[in-house]
Structure 1
């Protein structure tokens, strides 16, 4: 076998091997991106960790009951307690109050916009000026 024939045969084998590898790589699912968080199932919803009582200033509080994406939201303000049905929506909990769609999100005390809570670190905020924290 001469060297030209040997080079051609080696090249052909390498091309076939490379084509087979790239075909398999195209069929395999891509690995998960490290920047992409895996989807949260309702059984492990981030909002399930919020169940319980969260305190606000002057006797106000937010209390969450339930789980798996379905909640009872009780908000005590200066007018008394009111209860709403809430639903998990990703990293938020949504509910309707007085015809307005509200959402509860995790925050720190400074993000609540309330000076009484500014030093706290484990809080929930409905909107600026309406927040609740755990001690």
Structure 2
């Protein structure tokens, strides 16, 4: 009779472990699947750093390209690696965007999803930054 209870206990623990793992995975996915809010107010007690500071770090594009954001507090070094190599431009927060000048043209980074980058390689992604249609970088 003790043997008959063993599969029930094992099954019960297996179901509980599976449910806990599923909740953990779902929680992680929800946090990383949406772009950082770009116009939300800072939480009480925190510094007044712009929401664009949440974009700091590396964002990947297709074929080895990437965007690297360094700095903070509204002032950034925007490094773009394309097929010609990396170039760095000074940038600054402008509301829900980061503005910078490249080759005499005023550009801006904005939060988008992969489809809004206009790039088929990124179309399934959800947490991206786009300079213009055909130039985007994603994290997820």
Is TM-score (shorter-chain normalized) higher than 0.5? yes
Residue by residue, what CA displacement relative to the aligned partner does 1:108-131 show, whole Å, maximum 9, x if unpaired? 000000000000000000000000
**Of 97, 103, 116, the match for 1:98:** 103
Indicate whether 1:74 and 2:74 are aligned. Answer: no
**Of 111, 117, 122, the match for 1:112:** 117
**Of 26, 39, 43, the match for 2:48:** 43
Shift of the alpha carbon at 1:107? Answer: 0.3
Change (3 A) 1:42 1:110: farther
Whether the aligned pair in 1 keeps the contact of 2:111 and 2:128 (CA below 8 Å) is yes
Shift of the alpha carbon at 1:43? Answer: 3.0
**For structure 1, which runs of at least 5 residues remain unmatched after alignment?**
1-36
TM-score by length of 1: 0.69
Q: Which has the higher contact order (CA 8 A, sep 6+)?
A: 2
Cα distance in 2 for residues equivalent to 1:85 and 1:38: 25
Change (3 A) 1:82 1:97: same
**For structure 2, which runs of at least 5 residues remain unmatched after alignment?**
1-39
**Of 126, 129, 134, the match for 1:129:** 134
Whether the aligned pair in 1 keeps the contact of 2:42 and 2:48 (CA below 8 Å) is no
- Which secondary structure does the structure 2 equivalent of 1:64 belong to? strand
Cα distance in 1 for residues equivalent to 2:105 and 2:99: 10
Indicate whether 1:53 and 2:53 are aligned. Answer: no
Cα distance in 2 for residues equivalent to 1:90 and 1:60: 26
Change (3 A) 1:48 1:119: same
Whether the aligned pair in 2 keeps the contact of 1:112 and 1:128 (CA below 8 Å) is yes
TM-score by length of 2: 0.67
Residue by residue, what CA displacement relative to the aligned partner does 1:57-111 show, whole Å, maximum 9, x if unpaired? 0000000000000000000000000000000000000000000000000000000
